[in-house]
Amino acid sequence: MADFKAPLRDMRFSLKEVLNYTTHCSELGGFEEVGDQLLDAILDEAAKFVEQELAPINQSGDQQGCQWNDTVVTTPDGFKEAYAKYVDAGWAGLSADPEFGGQGLPPSMATLLSEMAGTANWSWAMYPGLSHGAHATITAHGSDEQKQQYLGKLTSGEWTGTMCLTESHCGTDLGMLRTRAEPNDDGSYALHGTKIFISAGEHDMTDNIVHIVLARLPDAPQGTRGISLFIVPKMIPDANGEAGERNGVSCGSIEHKMGIHGNATALLNFDGAKGWLIGPPNRGLNCMFTFMNAARLGTALQGLAHSEFGFQKSLDYARERLQMRSLSGKKSPDKAADPIIVHPDVRRMLLTQKALSEGGRLFVHSLAMDVDTTESDASVEAKGVADARLALLTPIAKAFLTETGFESANLGLQIFGGHGFIQEWGMEQNVRDCRISMLYEGTTGIQALDLLGRKVVGSQGGLLRPFLAEIQQFCAQHADNRHMANTVAALKTHCEEWEQITTDITMRAMSNADEVGAASVDYLMYSGYIVLAYFWARAQATALNALADETCTEPDFYQAKITTAQFYFEKLLPRTRSLVATMEAGADPLMALDADHFHF
């Protein structure tokens, strides 16, 4: 079987042909240098790095795992060396501010690198991935002194970062956290408490780790209104800005997990650790949303990564594995049996993986471009539009793409049959590594409540309507295209239904607040299928235009796009029918059984 290959052709289709990426960069202000030549060079070099350095240590990293010994964590063989090459090549600062040593490219460029790195080796990719969130948080909320102290090292990759939220008694409900921060005479704070499930919380790849920590001040009010945010470095920077004396934060253990064994998920003890307030007192959760939103988009990318990995391995295997004869007649008469790719059920699984991977890629790339807009010199109006789009689509991307990414990973194992259950093929690792994506950065249920409760109902439809209008505008533009008649009709119908269902749930919630929680996950998945349908419609329109060009040199590639779009609309989009039924059933079937009457 072939080794992992970065899906460069499909990435270029998404960026250059469907989303007009380089035009987007040239129009933003500040990113005019990003043309096709630069984009191609970065994609090509990034692909070489992930294929040659990260993919080969993915499986070995899983099998060896991280090792903990008396607060010290050792990463798997090759991880530290690969990270050193990553830093030396300047990848860590690809999209960072040149003031702090970065290359000043759009944030989306870092997303493209993360997509490839994450697909090749998700455990390794989490180390630099979390640093981006720490960097963004300090950039958005740190003082000038804090920026000078930390951003240069985070930009270069010499130091990494983490986010420290969770405690043993509070996961999603951060209002319950107990870690406290007591003021010191020098303006710093002494932090006391324990944080758990801290990804990349301790390791041997850098000489310092910058922890972004939620804690309470002594006079803080209860609940989420009383949380502040602190920078707590593992090693306190010295007068020269280098890693100095050891701070009072230590790794008490690392978790023994179902997957992502190559990334250290740490329990961190803060025993009077010196930290510095970032942002206003008691507004830490608001500041932390900068990190959390970056992490949610990163987790959406994880769903895409595991879907792509499963698809690549499944496709190679299905072409090589000989089993039975096709029901419609021998397809390989010179062989003992036909390759399993000829069987309809295997086709169903492969096409599902392909549709979810390639559609998910368009979705992630589109959101990454919205992030570009919010961080560029674009107009206030353009930034407002991008912000609103991100607010609506981020919880959908995080939850839908991780749920469907797990589906694709499982389909990969299924295509391999019994071999998929065996470690050496890598398919069971992909399933194990993927499973966490539906849990961290807010479970699917939490994302669904955020979408339906806060973003849609909370805005009285104000965030949803512009996106519906975007889809409807696309439909209007292609109304006369006979090749897209079915696609346009399906999109229009679903847009109208999406709006009506939203109204129905909102009306029911006025008399019973549980109606939102009862419908929320189904609503999110329903929304996700429509969003992906929209991106597949755009892919179909792009492919049709390419085939109409007499100079087209890749007719098979574009025809495959059209065929996959048709598969999506005919085989996957109809899943919305069952979701409509379960949403319409309301809260009663869920709440009718008294909690005391659950028996086993």
Residues belonging to the active site:
441
CA gap 137, 98 in Å, rounded: 17
Strand 235-237 to 228-233 pairing: unpaired
Q: What residues contact residue 587 under an 8 Å CB cut-off, 6+ apart? A: 508, 512, 514, 515, 517, 518, 519
CA gap 447, 211 in Å, rounded: 25
Amino acid at 4: F
| Cα separations in angstroms, 434 against 192, 200, 258, 263, 431 | 33, 17, 10, 13, 5
CA gap 127, 72 in Å, rounded: 16
Tokens 């959406």 found at: 300
As beta bridge partners, residue 160 has: 209
CA gap 368, 11 in Å, rounded: 13
Which of 56, 129, 202 is closest to 437 using CA atoms? 129
Q: What is the per-residue DSSP string for 46-76?
A: HHHHIIIIIGGGHHHHHHH--EEETTEEEPP
Decide: 306 and 437 in contact? Cβ < 8 Å: yes
Question: Which two tokens mark 396?
Answer: 């959908």
Question: Which two tokens mark 190?
Answer: 């002494």
- The SS3 call for residue 209 is strand
Q: What residues contact residue 60 under an 8 Å CB cut-off, 6+ apart? A: 76, 77, 78
φ, ψ for residue 549, nearest 5 deg: -80, 125
Which of 21, 5, 93, 135 is closest to 364 using CA atoms? 21
Which of 550, 561, 542, 533 is closest to 477 using CA atoms? 542
Determine whether 53 is exposed, middle or buried from the number of CB atoms within 10 Å of its CB (0-12, 13-18, 19+): buried
CA gap 533, 492 in Å, rounded: 11
Alpha-helical (H) ranges within 253-343 are 284-320
Decide: 560 and 546 in contact? Cβ < 8 Å: no
| Cα separations in angstroms, 436 against 40, 256, 258, 403, 504 | 32, 13, 8, 10, 33
Helices (H) and strands (E) in the chain, counts: 19, 11
Decide: 491 and 471 in contact? Cβ < 8 Å: yes
CA gap 538, 365 in Å, rounded: 13
CA gap 25, 525 in Å, rounded: 31
CA gap 233, 241 in Å, rounded: 12
Decide: 584 and 507 in contact? Cβ < 8 Å: no
